[in-house]
Amino acid sequence: MKIKLFIPLLALLSMYCAQLAAQQNPVATVGNVTSAVINGQQVDITAGNAHVQVMVYTPSVIRVRVDQHELPTDFSYAVVGKIQPVKVQITQDDNRINIVTDSVKAIIRKAPFSVTFITPDGKVINEDEQGLTTSWAERTVTTYKKLQPGERFVGLGEKTGNLDRAGMGYTNWNSDVYGYSVSQDPLYSTIPFYIGIHQGLNYGIFLDNTYQTDFNFGASNNRFSSFAARGGEMNYYFIYHKRLADIINSYTYLTGRMPLPPLWSLGYQQNRYSYYPEAEVLRIAHTLREKRIPADGITLDIHYMDKYQLFTWNKSRFPNPAGMNAELTKLGFKTTVIVDPGIKVEKGAPAYESGLQQDIYLKYPDGLNYTGQVWPGWCNFADFTSPKGRNWWRSQVKFFAESGVSGIWNDMNEFSTWGQKAPDNILFNYDGRPTTHLQAHNVYGLQMIRSSYEGALEHFKERPFVLTRSGYAGLQRYSAIWTGDNRAEEDHMLQGVRLLNSLGLSGVAFTGMDIGGFTGNPTTALYTRWIQLGAFIPYYRNHTALNTRAAEPWTFGEDVLDIARNYISLRYQLLPYLYSTFYEATQTGMPVMRSLAINYTFDAHVFDAAYQNQYEFGRALMIAPFESNKTFAKVYFPEGTWYDFYNDNTIKGGQERAVPLPPDKLPVFVKGGSIIPVQSLIQSTAEQPTDTLTLHVYNGDKPNSFTYYEDDGKSFDYQKGSYYKRMITFDPDRHRISLNAAEGNYRSHFKHIKLILHGFNQTAALTAGTSRLPLQSGTVAFLGAAANTDPQGRTAAPESCPVKYQVVDNKSTLQLFTY
């Protein structure tokens, strides 16, 4: 009898000791590796408290998965890039596992488990913090990385703060943040990808986990950086390249790249909350044309709907939507309309009843549909993580196609409800992997824009334009994004620049912010500076809120109208350059707005708070934004030769320079060696420019190239080879400008090329084959003269650049030598 009692007592004692140990150390670590099985390009590891898989994804990308349970079948809404066959050596001994590719080496220590990434020549790129590595505090899993000397951090998507995020912490939980502050976090979207920089090295880490995630870049500690998820597995991709641009390339290989946008979406877009009725919409369109303000889009906010119900038109305000949109088309405008995810609970309403019939709404565990309150009142919400829900939404998009709409603006898709406390126990299909709101929240917006994009592909028949406020990593595959409900304040304009640059560092090239600010009323000076800046932002939309003053360019007086017209016109002349830059984004993931950290990664000046707002717009232009109330400011010029865009004054790189800030001119500079194609002025992309393409070539001391791209700007024929692409190169050592043979079977619109040379002061002529082409001297003004609105004043001549030029036929190949 005593022996029988002894065994249960031992079991109870063992359980007690385990509980006591857990109470003493509630943090569970991975522990020591107990087995490791090499399987091709991956290693499957069992440790004391976890299962681990380390996989070579590409020569420069290594994936690490860790969980306390056996790792489930792989699934991701973000990752679309496939594993590449890689030449890799994986070996192990009693102490460690070595994974070696041509680009990077991973060392996995076994006791305890930890990972270090090093260069082929042995430099530490990134390493787990010894003693912490990866661990769990309740359901939250965190990986701790040792802080390297002088380490900087950039990216992480739509995050406020400085370009360099060192010393800061951030949370990813998509949130509706009306009129957010310049330090607020989180905002609307989640992109858990950042780039670390130290000691001449840079790397990227993408944490693919859709639960709430938290990133610490040395906040409140001097030991580690970390990334954590409030549920699910630790699942991250480590990316190493020598160039930061290549890290973006690899990240967008994983998460996808943007499709070619319709050309009209790169033009100026006029919006407010809200334009109605139909007569007001047409008045805005006609006024833009009468005042010679180039424009391509008008956007309608929620007042176009009948009582804010989706897939309806308010018939008293818009009695004939298709007719109105046909009239706008004749004027050279495309219409974009707003949509929200909430479907009003109203018996007899076609969309609501259709959703009920097809059972596409989010539910509680007891089977009742989740109901939340938004603009129309109490609403149900489509489950976009369900194929059934996405198919239903795609079918509803036909409503807009039949109305002549060309763009879909997805709003409130964080998702937002009044009270901003959607319950944790809402159930989501998650593509056959049922889960709760905790895991699905951050991908809801991504799956909504996926549904809108796929519906538009099906019903619009041409390239659609899709815009979103929310999303997750990979959103660039479906949509442009804008930075939500900003304020009409100086610091918001500059914070907006950093938000867009950070999104660009995080794989999203098509970005914008509300020009002039959404909430509040900008001063005349602020509006002027912002409308200038907008000409150098990928998505150029003027927008303001209900009950604010009108913010169309003519509402701030004739002088402001003149300045706005100048910069919007410049935008349209730069469209060949801009469209080619967007083409580059579709191929490599490089953003249109480029933080100087991309090309000058190890120059400490670009991270200085005084210069962190400067950015490159494509390959050639550097923009220097400043508050509108400043009259002088310092600009930092990185290495190389730089030209003042307006007068060709040259500045040697590697120095600061004080520049004046007149109200009618935004500081813009051109990198030596650059090639900038421009066209004649048009009022809309529905018009054709003249048949001469102007190529501006800036002298420099380094070779450079530019890929010029052209197609019809609207169809998908480019996917069948109907495009015109040619490489243009400048070689200063050989005094040669080359236009290589064009690729594709699209016939260029341009029959002639006007070659304009900047900084070639000693060049008298060009040679093309055996022909000598004398250069003519002249001037070029990128901005028009100020309007003579003061009868007692004088009209100031516009600033201009002294240039030399020659016009040649647009031949299949052309090599021009300067002498």
Catalytic residue numbers, as ranges? 411, 414, 485
Dist. CA 474–CA 251, nearest whole Å: 10
Q: Residue 21: in which H helix or E strand, if any?
A: helix 2-24
Beta carbons of 78 and 474 less than 8 angstroms apart: yes
- Spatial neighbors of 703 by CB under 8 A, at least 6 apart, are 673, 729, 730, 731, 732, 733
- Spatial neighbors of 230 by CB under 8 A, at least 6 apart, are 139, 140, 211, 212, 213, 214, 438
767 φ, ψ (degrees, to nearest 5): -120, 135
Q: Is 743 helix (H, G, I), strand (E, B) or coil?
A: strand
Dist. CA 208–CA 65, nearest whole Å: 10
Dist. CA 65–CA 686, nearest whole Å: 50
Tokens 């309150």, located at residue: 373
Q: Look up residue 723 and give its two tokens.
A: 């495009």
| Residue-by-residue DSSP string for 553-600 | GGGG-HHHHHHHHHHHHHHHHTHHHHHHHHHHHHHH---SEEEHHHHS
Selection from 430, 486, 432, 477 nearest residue 457 by Cα: 477
Angle ∠(770,774,778) on CA atoms, nearest 5 = 150
DSSP β-bridge partners for residue 97:
92, 108
Q: Is 89 exposed, middle or buried (0-12, 13-18, 19+ CB in 10 A)?
A: exposed
Selection from 110, 161, 112, 128 nearest residue 236 by Cα: 128
β pairing state of 480-482 and 511-512: parallel
Strands annotated E in 612-743 = 615-617, 621-623, 632-637, 641-644, 650-652, 655-660, 668-671, 675-678, 692-698, 704-710, 724-731, 736-739
96 to 55, 110, 215: CA distances (angstroms): 16, 5, 28
Dist. CA 96–CA 118, nearest whole Å: 14
β pairing state of 465-468 and 752-758: unpaired
Q: Look up residue 579 and give its two tokens.
A: 């469209």
| Residue-by-residue DSSP string for 102-140 | SS-EEEEEETTEEEEEE-TTS-EEEEB-TTTSEEEETTE
**137 HSE (CA, 13 A, CB side):** 8
- Spatial neighbors of 641 by CB under 8 A, at least 6 apart, are 650, 651, 652, 653, 671, 672, 673, 699, 700, 701, 759
Please, what is the angle between helix 350-358 and helix 387-396, to 10°? Answer: 150
Question: How many residues are present in the chain?
Answer: 819
Q: Look up residue 211 and give its two tokens.
A: 């639960």
What is the distance, to the nearest Å, from the Cα of residue 75 to the centroid of all Cα atoms in its chain?
Answer: 23
User: Is the preceding peptide bond at 225 cis, omega within 30 degrees of 0?
Assistant: no
| Structure letter (DSSP) for residue 24 | H
End-to-end CA separation in angstroms for the chain: 109
β pairing state of 752-758 and 801-809: antiparallel
Rg (CA), the chain: 28
Dist. CA 150–CA 443, nearest whole Å: 34
Dist. CA 237–CA 64, nearest whole Å: 6
